[in-house]
Chains A and B, each alone.
Chain A
Amino acid sequence: MLKISDLHVGLTADNNVKILKGIDLDVPSGEVHAIMGPNGGGKSTFANVLMGRPDYQITTGTIEFKGESILDLPPDARAHLGIFMAFQYPVEIPGVRPFQFLKAALDSRADATGQKKLSAREFTKRFDEKVVQVGINANLIKRSLNEGFSGGEKKRNEILQLEILQPVLAIMDETDSGLDVDALKIVAEGVNSQRSPDRSFLIVTHYQRLLNYIKPDRVHILVDGKIVETGGPELAVKVEKSGYKEYLT
Chain B
Amino acid sequence: MQKQLFYLAIFCTIFLITFIQVVMINKNNTISRKSELSNKDYKWGFSTDVETELAPKGLSEDIVRLISSKKKEPDWLLEWRLKAFRHWVDLEDKDMEPNWARVQYPRMDFQDIYYYAAPVSKKDKAPNSMEEVDPEMLEAFEKLGIPLNEREKLAGVAVDAVFDSVSIATTFGEKLSEMGIIFCSFTEATQKHPELVKKYLGSVVPYTDNFYASLNSAVFSDGSFAYIPPGVKCPMELMTYFRINTEGSGQFERTLIIADKGSYVSYLEGCTAPMRKTSQLHAAVVELVALDDSEIKYSTIQNWFPGTKDGEGGVYNFVTKRGRAESSAKISWTQVETGSAITWKYPSVILKGDNSVGEFFSVALANNHQQADTGTKMIHIGRNTKSTIVSKGISAGKGSNTYRGGVQIMPTAENATNHTQCDSLLIGDQCGAHTVPYIQVRNPSAKLEHEASTSKVSDDQLFYLMSRGLSEEEAHHMIITGWSRDVIKELPFEFAIEASQLLKVSLEGAVG
Q: Are A95 and B483 in contact (CB under 8 A)?
A: yes
Q: Which residues from B are CB-within-8-Å of A74?
A: 466, 472
Contact of A94 among B464, B465, B482 (CB under 8 A): B482
Q: Which residues of A contact B (CB under 8 A)?
A: 51-55, 74-76, 78-80, 84-85, 87, 90-91, 93-96, 101-102, 104-106, 108-109, 112, 144, 161, 165
Q: Which residues from A are CB-within-8-Å of B459?
A: 54-55
Q: How far is the CA of A75 from the CA of B485 in the complex (A)?
A: 26
Which of B40-48, B210-218, B317-325, B473-481 lies at the interface? B473-481
Interface assignment of B458: CB less than 8 Å from any CB of chain A: yes
Whether A79 touches B478, Cβ cut-off 8 Å, given contacts A54-B459, A91-B461, A95-B485, is no
Q: Are A52 and B467 in contact (CB under 8 A)?
A: yes
Q: Are A95 and B482 in contact (CB under 8 A)?
A: yes
Q: Which residues from B are CB-within-8-Å of A104?
A: 470, 474, 478
- In the assembled complex, the CB of B336 is this many whole angstroms from the nearest CB of chain A, namely 15
Closest chain B residue, CB of each to CB of A100:
B478
Q: Are A96 and B482 in contact (CB under 8 A)?
A: yes
Q: Are A91 and B469 in contact (CB under 8 A)?
A: no
Interface assignment of B203: CB less than 8 Å from any CB of chain A: no
Whether A93 touches B461, Cβ cut-off 8 Å, given contacts A104-B478, A144-B482, is yes
Which of B461, B465, B474, B485 has the largest count of A CB atoms less than 10 A from its CB? Answer: B465
Q: Are A76 and B482 in contact (CB under 8 A)?
A: no
Q: Are A108 and B474 in contact (CB under 8 A)?
A: yes
Closest chain B residue, CB of each to CB of A75:
B466
- In the assembled complex, the CB of A12 is this many whole angstroms from the nearest CB of chain B, namely 11
Closest chain B residue, CB of each to CB of A97:
B482
Contact of A161 among B460, B468, B470, B482 (CB under 8 A): B468
Q: How far is the CA of A45 from the CA of B242 in the complex (A)?
A: 54
Q: How far is the CA of A85 from the CA of B461 in the complex (A)?
A: 14
Q: How far is the CA of A103 from the CA of B410 in the complex (A)?
A: 50
- In the assembled complex, the CB of A62 is this many whole angstroms from the nearest CB of chain B, namely 21
Q: How far is the CA of A161 from the CA of B464 in the complex (A)?
A: 12
Q: Are A54 and B483 in contact (CB under 8 A)?
A: no
Q: Are B469 and A105 in contact (CB under 8 A)?
A: yes
Contact of A105 among B461, B470, B482, B484 (CB under 8 A): B470
Q: List 30 A-B contacts (CB under 8 A).
A: A54-B463, A55-B459, A74-B472, A75-B467, A76-B466, A76-B468, A76-B470, A76-B471, A79-B467, A79-B468, A79-B469, A80-B469, A85-B467, A87-B464, A91-B458, A93-B461, A93-B464, A94-B482, A95-B482, A95-B484, A95-B485, A96-B478, A101-B465, A101-B478, A104-B478, A105-B469, A105-B470, A106-B469, A108-B470, A144-B482
Q: Are A51 and B482 in contact (CB under 8 A)?
A: no
Which of A76, A78, A104 has the largest count of B CB atoms less than 10 A from its CB? Answer: A76
Q: How far is the CA of A79 from the CA of B468 in the complex (A)?
A: 6
Question: Which applies to chain B's interface (DSSP): helix, strand, loop or mixed?
Answer: helix
Give the number of residue pairs across the A-B interface with Cβ within 8 Å.
77
Q: Which residues of B contact A (CB under 8 A)?
A: 458-461, 463-472, 474-475, 478-479, 481-486
Q: Are B472 and A76 in contact (CB under 8 A)?
A: yes
Q: Which residues from A are CB-within-8-Å of B468?
A: 76, 79, 84, 101-102, 105, 108, 161, 165
Contact of B479 among A53, A84, A93 (CB under 8 A): A93
Q: How far is the CA of A104 from the CA of B484 in the complex (A)?
A: 18
Closest chain A residue, CB of each to CB of B478:
A96
Q: How far is the CA of A230 from the CA of B459 in the complex (A)?
A: 34
Q: Which residues from A are CB-within-8-Å of B483?
A: 94-95
Q: How far is the CA of A51 from the CA of B482 in the complex (A)?
A: 24
Which of B461, B466, B471, B475 has the largest count of A CB atoms less than 10 A from its CB? Answer: B466
In the complex, given contacts A51-B463, A76-B475, what are 12 additional A-B residue pairs having Cβ atoms less than 8 angstroms apart?
A76-B466, A79-B469, A90-B464, A91-B461, A93-B464, A93-B465, A93-B478, A93-B479, A101-B465, A104-B470, A105-B469, A108-B471
- In the assembled complex, the CB of B437 is this many whole angstroms from the nearest CB of chain A, namely 22
Q: Which residues from B are CB-within-8-Å of A84?
A: 467-468
- In the assembled complex, the CB of A63 is this many whole angstroms from the nearest CB of chain B, namely 15
- In the assembled complex, the CB of B468 is this many whole angstroms from the nearest CB of chain A, namely 4
Q: Which residues from A are CB-within-8-Å of B470?
A: 76, 104-105, 108
Closest chain A residue, CB of each to CB of B477:
A104
Q: How far is the CA of A51 from the CA of B483 in the complex (A)?
A: 26
Q: Are A96 and B479 in contact (CB under 8 A)?
A: yes
Which of B460, B463, B486 has the largest count of A CB atoms less than 10 A from its CB? Answer: B463
Q: Which residues from B are CB-within-8-Å of A106?
A: 469
- In the assembled complex, the CB of A120 is this many whole angstroms from the nearest CB of chain B, namely 13
Q: How far is the CA of A76 from the CA of B468 in the complex (A)?
A: 6
Whether A95 touches B466, Cβ cut-off 8 Å, given contacts A74-B472, A101-B478, A104-B474, is no
Q: Which residues from A are CB-within-8-Å of B471?
A: 76, 108
- In the assembled complex, the CB of A68 is this many whole angstroms from the nearest CB of chain B, namely 18
Q: How far is the CA of A91 from the CA of B468 in the complex (A)?
A: 13
Q: How far is the CA of A94 from the CA of B458 in the complex (A)?
A: 12
Q: Which residues from A are CB-within-8-Å of B466?
A: 74-76, 79
Which of A51, A94, A106 has the largest count of B CB atoms less than 10 A from its CB? Answer: A94
Contact of B482 among A79, A87, A93 (CB under 8 A): A93
- In the assembled complex, the CB of A110 is this many whole angstroms from the nearest CB of chain B, namely 9
Q: Which residues from B are CB-within-8-Å of A51?
A: 463, 467
Q: How far is the CA of A161 from the CA of B479 in the complex (A)?
A: 18
